[in-house]
Structure 1
Amino acid sequence: MEIPSIAAAAFDRPGVKVRTLAFLRWIAVGGQFATLIVVGLGLGYPLPWPSLIAALAASAVLNIGLVTLYGRHARLQGMDLVLHLAFDLVQAGVMLFLTGGLANPFAVLLIMPVTIAATLLPARAMAVLGGLAALILAALWVWARPLPWEGGTPPDFPMMYRIGVATSMALAIGFLGIYLWLVSAQARDRARALVATEAALTREAKMSALGSLAAAAAHELGGPLGTITLIARSLSDALGDDPEFGDDIRLLESEAARSRGILVRIARRAEAEDPFATLGLDVLLHEVARNAEPARVPIRVHAPGALPHVKRSPELLHGLANLVGNAVRHAGSAVELHATASGSDVHIIVLDDGPGFPAELLPRFGEPDLGPSKSGSGGTGLGIFIATTLLERTGGRLAFTNRRDGGAQVDVRWPRPHIEATGQE
């Protein structure tokens, strides 16, 4: 099941609220200003005040314009966010250039814009900002003004020390940026997949509720319609040959009979779609197989012995249907469903005779996004993730393996108390 494009875009490009970015920048400006006051006025270190105040003023003016031009709930995305974070990098670089470069203990603040980008922007944009940070590091290493020092010449740091500082900063920016980007991308993939899971579950629940509602409506309308039918028959017997009213009475009788037939069909369809709240596991598997038809290969159900009754829940039905649908797409000649039960657990196996799961992806099955180029079939793994999530909600645990004689195998196992219905309706 696909996510609406607007929701998908929101996950792919989450952006950041303008007010949040402005607040963070005000914190940076305030911290920089407070540091200059303490170091320059409190400790008496010589500082290039005009240039430093100009750099701070540039950030303050940009922030005022940002808050003024954008609404309270506006968000920055894409290139706009890249440009703002690039400005923050350059502004921090200018401040460091004027106050000692990489010898300044506050050089570590160059990491901040890149880490923000890693959580909010795609890889290409993050790489651009990472490259800009690397250029700023190189410029600070070569051209920065000497570190301000109280009452004299600052110490001359050895070249090896300066190289080590530049290298450690570059490694910190690269490592934190890549790590945060991977974590954020996985979080967005999981959030997107969970939205799809909830949508699928909601659809199944609505369909089930609609069937129950249709059956109830057919039952409630049956009484009044029966009365109308009796009156129509009485009128037809009494006035059916009347030249003025006979045709209308016969039309009324036929329409009442037609309406009754419609209600009967609705009730039968609703009962067929949701016949019982609980049913035998073997019956449920036959229902899953029937709902997958017409399939490109036959689906065979093997359910020997006494099996427990289970709740006919949307999670169980849709989760198993996703596994069966995936097996049907890849099977060579048939799909098999096996069900067994013991005193402690219930076990369902979904087998196909296709090419099997890609071995390198087996440890990752159940994750929200395997990538279309990795799955080997154009799929992204979202269907398996949805099935895993839904079946785990019922207490099941899934294992994905390849059969020795070829094909894929999915084992779903529940502790018997978790899946067995306590009563039969």
Structure 2
Amino acid sequence: MAESNQTFWRGQERSSWIRLRTLILLRWVAIVGQLTAITVAQRYYDVQLELGLCYLAIGISVMGNLTAILLFPQNKRLTEFENFLMVLFDLLQLSILLYLTGGLNNPFALLLLGPVTISANVMSTRSTLIVGAVAIVLTTVLAEFHLPLRTSLGLVLDIPDILLFGNWAAIIIAIVFIGAYSHRVSSEVQSMSEALAATHMALAREQKLTDLGGVVAAAAHELGTPLATIKLTSAELIEELDDRPDLKEDAALIREQADRCRDILRDMGRAGKDDLHLRQAPLSTVVNEAAEPHVGRGKEVHFSEGPAQDGDVQQPSILRKPEIIHGLRNLIQNAVDFARANVWVEAEWTDSRITVSIMDDGRGYPPHMIGRIGDPFMRRRRAESDQRSRPEYEGMGLGLFIAKTLLERSGAELEFANGSDPYQHLTDNPERRGAIVKVTWPRKLIDAQKGDTPVPSGSNTRIQV
């Protein structure tokens, strides 16, 4: 699981998701806005500007856009470095234009936040910090050095120093706050999106394995009788064919059975049949199937099942959903990874609910992370002894997120606690002092016989592909 996750996340940079055409379009909007602002200020308010230099600054931006359109394809997606250069270019171009039009006395100085916000949303932390630092330096320079704004009468349009300082402070604070806020929110949204994509991949893989199991079971079931007949007849032929020419009838029988096997395989088709018996299983069977890959990993896994005080004596048969199996498997894997020697998996049921509890005798969850368990990509620093005992273990973020998401998708509610916590109510056994996970389903959601979606009876049907 850890290796596949590393493969999935390798090279997933957010900046590579942005098309060049998107930034080109935004730059065209900025160019139109800049031309409009200069024209209105010069014609309607008689503000004297260095029009030649202003048009030169805007013309550089126009040439950059035209060059990008001619040299790169429409579906070009920017790398981290290319995106960084594009945003830095826009920031410098805007700063030059502000220098020519009054610096921070120009109310459009607020537009310096634009490149910073873009970098915070699509680039790495390092690139965002560099762009933010450059924006702060340019803002400070523009507060002191700029060409003045003059009216047609020669009057200088200049705001009082206290307001100039307020503009500078407001822009600096906005750069820091909006940049940090946008980057944080964007990172969390992206992490959740990538983690959900990994969850869907895990569920799809588990579904394929379940379908494959159905095909194999159906083939073994339907081919059992003819293959047994072929085996028996072949044994008789081997013993008696040399001196018993009358075994021609047995040879014909072999041919008939071989034809029957061919017909069955043709009837099953490429997709096989949906074996109704494999869509349900006793609760203990599903739990054991989920735990099977981790039973022989050096830790003792203890299983127990039974009704609760007000439950039926008969064990329920539950839906054998891929999300249930894969979710429980991840939780058991986590328990085995952190247990000292023992893991307990307990299943119980009542008339209204079905519960699976997974406990270990390890150190438990870090107390300050109990409320965050299940967040994607949550990490904690590992001690050297932990690294030596589990060098292949990468963390407990994505695996628990996938397990929690899949189980909640099946209708379960999860509770996390430590057995050493005197206030927890999930167990009173002092041996089980490590991590505890309690998974509870409303029985009607997963009961294969009495629930909301009971498994139908009758002949097997084809799997739809």
Query: What TM-score results when the alignment is normalised by the length of structure 1?
Result: 0.86
Following the alignment from structure 1 to structure 2, what is the Cα–Cα distance between the partners of residues 235 and 299? 50
Q: Are residues 1:312 and 2:320 paired?
A: yes
Instruction: Tell me the equivalent position of 2:352.
Output: 344
Match of 1:180 among 182, 199, 207: 182
Instruction: Tell me the equivalent position of 1:58.
Output: 60
Instruction: Tell me the equivalent position of 2:139.
Output: 137
What 5-or-longer segments of structure 2 have no aligned partner? 246-250, 266-271, 387-392, 421-429, 458-465
Change in Cα spacing, 1:418 to 1:65, as seen in structure 2 (3 Å) is same
Following the alignment from structure 1 to structure 2, what is the Cα–Cα distance between the partners of residues 49 and 387? 63
Match of 1:412 among 439, 442, 450: 439
- Give 1:60 shift: 0.5
Match of 1:288 among 280, 290, 294: 290
Change in Cα spacing, 1:417 to 1:217, as seen in structure 2 (3 Å) is closer
For 1:302, what is the secondary structure of its paired residue? strand
- Give 1:389 shift: 0.7
Q: Give the partner amino acid of 1:361.
A: M
For 1:289, what is the secondary structure of its paired residue? helix
Q: Give the partner amino acid of 2:100.
A: L
Change in Cα spacing, 1:52 to 1:295, as seen in structure 2 (3 Å) is same
- Give 1:343 shift: 3.6
For 2:48, what is the secondary structure of its paired residue? coil
Match of 2:364 among 335, 356, 366: 356
Q: Percent identity?
A: 34
Q: Deviations over 1:279-334 (max 9, x none)?
A: 22233223333342213211112222244321011100010010011001101121
- Give 1:229 shift: 5.6
* Count of aligned pairs between the two proteins: 405
Higher helix share: 1
Q: Give the partner amino acid of 2:405.
A: T
**1:119–1:180 Cα contact (<8 Å) kept:** yes
Q: Give the partner amino acid of 1:86.
A: L
- Give 1:152 shift: 4.1
Q: Give the partner amino acid of 2:372.
A: R
**1:300–1:337 Cα contact (<8 Å) kept:** yes
Change in Cα spacing, 1:303 to 1:5, as seen in structure 2 (3 Å) is closer
Output aligned runs, 1:15-414, within 5 Å: 15-149=17-151, 151-219=153-221, 221=223, 239-241=241-243, 276-305=278-307, 306=312, 307-371=315-379, 373=381, 378-404=394-420, 406-414=433-441
**1:399–1:411 Cα contact (<8 Å) kept:** yes
Following the alignment from structure 1 to structure 2, what is the Cα–Cα distance between the partners of residues 231 and 339? 48
Instruction: Tell me the equivalent position of 2:463.
Output: none
Instruction: Tell me the equivalent position of 1:266.
Output: none
Change in Cα spacing, 1:176 to 1:274, as seen in structure 2 (3 Å) is farther
**2:373–2:400 Cα contact (<8 Å) kept:** yes
Following the alignment from structure 1 to structure 2, what is the Cα–Cα distance between the partners of residues 116 and 384? 32
- Give 1:378 shift: 4.1
Following the alignment from structure 2 to structure 1, what is the Cα–Cα distance between the partners of residues 321 and 13? 29
Moved more, 205-214 or 280-289: 280-289
- Give 1:232 shift: 5.2
Q: Deviations over 1:113-152 (max 9, x none)?
A: 1111111111001001001101110110010122344644
For 2:11, what is the secondary structure of its paired residue? helix
Q: Deviations over 1:387-415 (max 9, x none)?
A: 00100100112122112253111122222
Moved more, 373-382 or 108-117: 373-382
Following the alignment from structure 2 to structure 1, what is the Cα–Cα distance between the partners of residues 230 and 101? 94
Instruction: Tell me the equivalent position of 1:267.
Output: none
Query: What TM-score results when the alignment is normalised by the length of structure 2?
Result: 0.79
Q: Deviations over 1:138-174 (max 9, x none)?
A: 1100101223446442344332221111111011111
**2:357–2:438 Cα contact (<8 Å) kept:** yes
What 5-or-longer segments of structure 1 have no aligned partner? 244-248, 264-269
